[in-house]
Structure 1
Amino acid sequence: MLSFLHYHLAMTLLKPNHVFLRAPFLFIFYLLMLPSLHCKYDPKYKLCNQPFKCGNLTNISYPFWGGPNRPQECGRLGFELTHCEDETQLPRIKIEDLDFHVSNINSQELLHTMNIARSDLWDSPCTDYLHNTTLDYDRFSYVQTVRNLTLYYDCPPALHPSIPNNFTCKINGTSNDLAYYLDDSLSRINVPEKPSCFIEIRVPMFWEGFDVMPGNGTAKVERVLRQGFQVEYSAQWDLCRLCSNSNGSCVSNATDDSFLCLCRDGVFNPKYCPIDHDSKFNMKWKIIVGVLSVVFTILSMSTVFYLWSSHRASVNEESKNEDVEAFIQNIGPLAVKRYKFSAVIKITNSFKDKLGQGGYGDVYKGHLLDGFPVAVKVLKESKGFEDFVNEVASISRTSHVNVVTLLGYCFEGKKKALIYEFMPNGSLEKFVYIDSNQLTTPHLELEKLFQIAIGIARGLEYLHRGCNTRILHFDIKPHNILLDENFCPKISDFGLSKLCTRKESIISMLDARGTIGYIAPEVFSRNFGRVSAKSDVYSYGMMILEMVGGRKNIDARVSHTSEIYFPDWVHEQLEQDSDLGLVNAVSDEEKEMARRMVLVGLWSIQTRPSDRPSMSKVIEMLEGSIEALQIPPKPVLYSPVRSLPPDSSTLSTLG
């Protein structure tokens, strides 16, 4: 690999207009390049590239460490693997003072899981270590195919005939009556009709097939306890990906466990390794280069500096343009046309007809050469390369009647633009909120809003399940819902979206993103749960409550004392079986639509992601029988307004 100076020397020598400089520079170039052939890897780098091996588990690397080959600095705290030499030939890991057998580790680009089982319950449920199973939630989280198996100890069947799953085992030589209970939730503190047993412990397990598993109670329980359960583990994968792409090794600081990137020359960097950071001159070539370079020092250094300065900007921009072009060509099945910025100027008639503006940039109306109307979003120069690529990558994978169509893009240096189909009725925002001081834009009839709500739900369901790659939007709100001439809704603005595989249900993010008032609690704090497609469901629920109520649920501009939280009020009305009294619902049919939207909205904003319906279920609830819709529990409402400055209305940190 060429160093930074080697690279620019090479690029300069390949320019046709510098032929007269080639002879002396080629001589220096080869002298500089030869020592790089003699580089050696640092012992620490070689050590941390040695995988952990145990039985059938091979090629296990970051964030795991342990054994004779991988010291702690090669991994992260909480990921030490031990006891490979025992009869099971399985490594063990300690999590929250509990010892677990590790039977499988799956480390893919977007999915990092492992199968673990409690070591004290590996041979038998008859343990004297009666403790619940807990996880270090900063590093581990349950996957969706896990539920609890609750074991009750000293639980005589005669006292609790309603609990059929009884069996007996010996603990410390004494017979003990046990029972087990299957719990659908991992987070329930108590189960219904809890027996008055001596003690209970909860153990996660795979749920598939347990109910139909052959054998008596003891055999079934032993089988699932040994099978264990699956967890996802996190270890700052975004930083590790940057480090690996620069040929570094992902490690950690042994003092504070912070992420570090170990380069091949033994130097630690916070994110990634500079190009050819590991190449070293040996003494012989230092002397040769020093002697031979004297003749050319003045000419070479002055010329290289001039050429490097003049070409640095153009090389960087050309490289970015090539990166974008290559990325666009590989992101999906749809052909997205690239336009020059001069063509964008013609399409918009020199940006004559401005439709709106925002933090991302300005939107203009334009026409393609065939007269087809389009909307052109010109991004501000401050909007980064990642924001631009993120939106193009997401929306180019879609083709749905309720998702806006991307027709083209422009990327020339700092000039970035996106060309969409034109939506004559603009955004849903101007049709939702009832304001007595602004009578120019009418509020839509409830039946039309109901159909719009169903269309948005179908669009989101498609993004979550219908695409080849699952797309999480993270900024669902009325402003980002566009309406065509027939008021058909289309989801737009994918600048904050995240891509994940079809099988992936939970993702990792470094920071919060979205718009205050619509952000799910778990996006702010992982204490509420894991970030997933259910985070979009929360935003959707807040939005349709605003649609049916004709007002914002949360206004970041008002004081705490004057703030009225609409979901709170409407939940109380439902519990009291009162008429919602919504101004837009007149007929009985409209009142039923309003009630249906309110119930779906309240279910969608439940605090725990697991309590919210999927978008498929939301569509079923909107189109199904009203009698089947129950009033949801009142959520422990979480308003980001109370923890952020009043002028902070949008978060857009990309992780």
Structure 2
Amino acid sequence: MKPSHRLSNLLLFFHLISTFLQVGHTSNISSFYYDQCSPSTCGKSILKFPLGRNAPCRSAYITTSCENGTVFITDDENPHIKYKVAEDLTDEVYSNRMVKFVDVSLFGCGPIPPFKGSTANAGFESQKWLVEGVFHAKSDYWLGTFFNCTKKPAEDIVSRLREGPCLECGETSNLCYFYDGYMSDIPNCRPFRTIIPVKVFNNFSMVGNLRKVLQEGFRTDWDGVCGPCMEMGGGRCGYLDEKRRSGKEVCFCNSGVHRHNCSDGLIIEPVAEGGGPKRRDPKRRMMLIIGFLLVLVTVVACAIYIYCLQRRRMKRRSQQRGQDEQVLRRYLNNDNSTPASIETFLHNYNSGMPTRFSYKQLKKYSHNFTHKLGQGGFGSVYKADLPNGLVVAVKLLDETEQSEAQFVNEVQTIGRIHHNHLVRLLGFCFDKSRRALVYEFMANGSLDKYIYQSDDGLPDKLGWAQLHEIAVGTARGIAYLHDECRVRILHCDIKPHNILLDERFTPKVSDFGLAQALNRETSHVSLPRGRGTPGYAPPEMWLMNHGPVTSKSDVYSYGMVILEMVGKRRNFNEEASSESEAYFPEWAYLHYVVEVGGEWSKHNSDQGREDDEIVRTMSLVGLWCIQFEPNLRPTMCRVIEMLEGNVVIDAPPVPFDVSVSRVVTGGTRMIPIKDCIVHH
């Protein structure tokens, strides 16, 4: 045997010693959690993950309780948010991963309950926008805000609301409205976050007793991350970490604690937490060492045999594995924890979420890709009609490394999140060399074709009130990515081309190919190279030594979009009549802050006082967002408050770095940031 082989066997030997010494400890803790997560009952319901009775065995952020044979879930951070499970939890329910909830505050016939907690942030802090934990409302339900008003709100607010029946069971003189999304407090109105069937939202006139409809509950689903654990080999899903954070689920089995399922071979060593069992004492450890020495020869012989057998198998399979390993390295960035195949990867991120299509199917549904909707940086987008009548957009990716990386990033980032202002990923195609992503169809295309002056001289298609709604909706979508997802998501490429509009001109953020997903404890990411689109990417993405990329980077890009919406043109126009107008953010700053610019009518004509106030608000918000220093930029939640007029907007400081710009009030032009970009 070669010396290198002897060294390898010696290392394997010490590894076996370490493993043996930990067997008692690992088995002890594993048994503790395995017993903790044993299914229990509540009336006719079975309680197991994600609705287990004990803390390690239920979804993050919720508490499950049993009251008189009925199951309830309560929000850990806001205990007054409570839902009744409106059906028996059977094995079929867990297999389908769907369950119906009812908001207990809707029981009875009294008035809707008031907000609890902070008045300033009542909507975000006291009533969560999603449901709870891993549970999400199904697509045939709408998340919105009801308002019960003793007086009619101002006309500009009423124009954004829908009239609807009140939630009280009896007659009332109050006026009731529904808003499709979250809106902060309206004077003389009591808000209430609710989840309503889409068919009811589309036709309130058909509803006689709205509260009775809502008391029927709403359906939710959850992802299938723990499916393999609970369905393969009798594992029990749960958390070792007592903080219970989604994405850290493990599988408790008789053989130990596994990463995915009881037969995946990925046994991990648990660390005792909180109420778990304690480590064995030194005397017990010494007894294990003595016992190990008695079987030393057998263990070494087995280790050598297994090692040699594995070497022979590796040689026989090396040729077969070569191509698969290359594909995995390209798709998973050389990560040593790469799944055994790309199918495993797709299962991990797709279980219970987007639908997988074959290339042949998409070719048929799109009529051989004849109706082209547009061209993106990574491929072309085509219109397609699914057999069920649903119209979708199919993005057929180019065969490049960048497009392949985008495929993985999109499935991983938005495959399991839904929001009214985010384009939903409905499916994907992974056939040999063909990659495609299937999105919901957005009838009115991207925002850029509505804010840039067209060559045909047609009048503007969107009014200022509608542009303002688009700005607010886009901000909500970005704020959801930053603050409301289970993981923090940085989009890294906010621009008008990536803001799509549906048939009602509702904005939805799209194209997550450059997105970065962070855990909640991480606020920034370091990029190996510049990314994003020049003109929208913030300085920290392209200028060396200017700090890490954070959620404030998306705020900067959003600010540039807002200013383009205001100027009805691109931020930098070389054909402008003056130097100060060439770089529009400079012109806006001079006009609204320094007040030495020209007339606003150069960019916008025939607008009334109300429209001018919208333009002024959007301009000031945009200037705050594009501050050169990230710490001066507002959060997206603050942006929403400013756009909706809930706070006074102070005059922003100069939004350009003084080291690369000269700001004076006597007509000397400022040097645009775009002229000073330094690429990594």
**TM-score relative to the length of structure 2:** 0.48
Report which of the two structures shows the higher radius of gyration computed on alpha carbons: 1
Compare relative contact order (CA 8 Å, sep 6+) and give the higher one, 1 or 2. Answer: 1
**TM-score relative to the length of structure 1:** 0.50
